[in-house]
Amino acid sequence: MNVPAFAIHIEDAVARFMRIRRQTLALCAGLSGEDLQVQSMPDASPGKWHLAHTTWFFEQFVLGYDPAYRSPNADWHYLFNSYYESVGSMHARPQRGLLSRPSLEDIRDYRARVDEAVGELLVRGLDATLAARVELGLQHEQQHQELLLTDIKHALWCNPLRPIYRKAAARGESRTSSMRFLPGRQGPVDIGHEDAGFAYDNESPRHTVWLSAHALANRLVTNAEYAAFVRDGGYREAGLWLSDGWATVQREGWQHPLYWQDDLSSEFTLAGVQALDPHAPVCHISYFEADAFARWADARLPTEAEWEDAAASLPVHGNFQESLGFHPTALPTGDGLLQMYGDVWEWTASPYVSYPGFKPLPGALGEYNGKFMNGQWVLRGGSCATPRDHIRASYRNFFPPHARWQFAGIRLGQDR
């Protein structure tokens, strides 16, 4: 794992640590203890659990790096461990919503105590190993900021009152560019992380892949385009779907994207039920739905190598968490590839597998990514819930093909 050196000014390191930790709390502002207790489905976690688990991570892997450290709440390690089998057993994921104790106040106190202890470590100075663990903890925290938003959205949607998380700014008239396919590079290209900044182990090693003649759509698929697929019977035509996808559609009764209302004119957002913007990117799409739409559109999904090679030369600019809209937006017309970063994670046609020569991190942290390289698909580019400084061209997100509560959408590709 590459990490930025902590030879920066100590005040800068402490300020960054506190900024990211406080942002997680800021995302919970306005939510009640009841809001943060709800677990709306097994794949989601209560907001309270996110607050505790991210703190457990720093306690376990940073403070616990000192063999003399003793946690004042050692029994909480069982409650807030997620999947690190090598450090101990854990509470069952589908039952996290049953953890009414410790209280939200207890967890906030826990965060404050751990923040103080890690801050003291930063001031004293860290060796390379501990600096890498702090950086991984911050990146992990930012991942959970996005998960917290997606899980809160699902929980509020499950409430028949369809409550509002935060009011949205007034939306002006939207428009978007016509869809065009822009040719990508053909031949050998290098992908994977290459600079001195932070990257997860699954982004390495950098290696050469061969790209066949192809093209990428200049923008994301819009709500209007996806609505045309729905109205054309896309969810009723078995021939458009992978076998497991079609079985999922039948079993779950899918008729349109998650959070769309049945009239196809409105959708649930973190600002409550809003009119569907026809020019905004379609969102909360599973891999199965993205693949079926691409087949209906006489196209395909890009491979992750095609996507990364196209994105690597572009600035990381877009609609991210810092925009505070927490929803994809229509982009004004423009030239070249648009919306490569932010708005929605983009499903690719690539299964989540290791790169040639991949080696997971040593010890318990090796469980972070590698053991999930089975039955999942890669997404690229970040979303409206992703912190801007968390994303890069080589970043590999991954989810199972049926997942659609994340901010995921579609960019089309073509063979040439």
* Domain ranges, ordered by start, for the chain: 10-157, 181-415
Determine how many CB atoms are found less than 10 A away from the CB of residue 93: 14
Q: Please report the pLDDT score of residue 263 as a whole number.
A: 94
Q: Would you give the distance in Å from CA 328 to the centre of its chain?
A: 14
Choose which CATH entry (3.20.20.70, 3.90.1580.10, 3.40.50.2300, 3.40.50.720) describes domain 181-415.
3.90.1580.10
Instruction: Please choose, from the candidates 300, 312, 321, 298, the residue with its C-alpha nearest in 3D space to the C-alpha of residue 340.
Output: 312
**pLDDT tens series, the chain, 416 aa:** 444 444 445 568 899 999 999 999 999 999 999 999 999 999 999 999 999 999 999 999 999 999 889 999 999 999 999 999 999 999 999 999 999 999 999 999 999 999 999 999 999 888 889 999 999 999 999 999 999 999 999 999 999 999 999 998 777 677 888 999 999 999 999 999 998 889 999 999 999 999 999 999 999 999 999 999 999 999 999 999 999 999 999 999 999 999 999 999 999 999 999 999 999 999 999 999 999 999 999 999 999 999 999 999 999 999 999 999 999 999 767 889 999 999 999 999 999 999 999 999 888 898 899 999 999 999 999 999 999 999 999 999 999 999 999 999 999 999 99
Helix (H) or strand (E) holding 272: strand 272-275
Q: Provide the whole-model pTM.
A: 0.95
Position 130, amino acid: L
Q: What angle do CA 135, 403, 88 make, to 5 degrees?
A: 50
Q: Please report the pLDDT score of residue 362 as a whole number.
A: 87
**Inter-residue contact 416 to 215 (CB < 8 Å):** yes
What distance in Å separates the CA atoms of residue 394 and residue 113, rounded to the nearest whole number?
35
Instruction: Provide the CATH topology of domain 10-157.
Output: Four Helix Bundle (Hemerythrin (Met), subunit A) (1.20.120)
Q: Please report the pLDDT score of residue 250 as a whole number.
A: 98
Q: Please report the pLDDT score of residue 172 as a whole number.
A: 67
Relative orientation angle of helices 243-252 and 287-296, to the nearest 10 degrees:
110
Q: What is the DSSP letter of 259?
A: T
What distance in Å separates the CA atoms of residue 264 and residue 223, rounded to the nearest whole number?
9
Instruction: Please choose, from the candidates 149, 142, 131, the residue with its C-alpha nearest in 3D space to the C-alpha of residue 19.
Output: 142
**Inter-residue contact 163 to 42 (CB < 8 Å):** no
- Give CA separation, 160 vs 61, 154, 155, 156, 168, in Å: 40, 12, 10, 8, 20
Position 53, amino acid: H
What is the number of residues in the chain?
Answer: 416
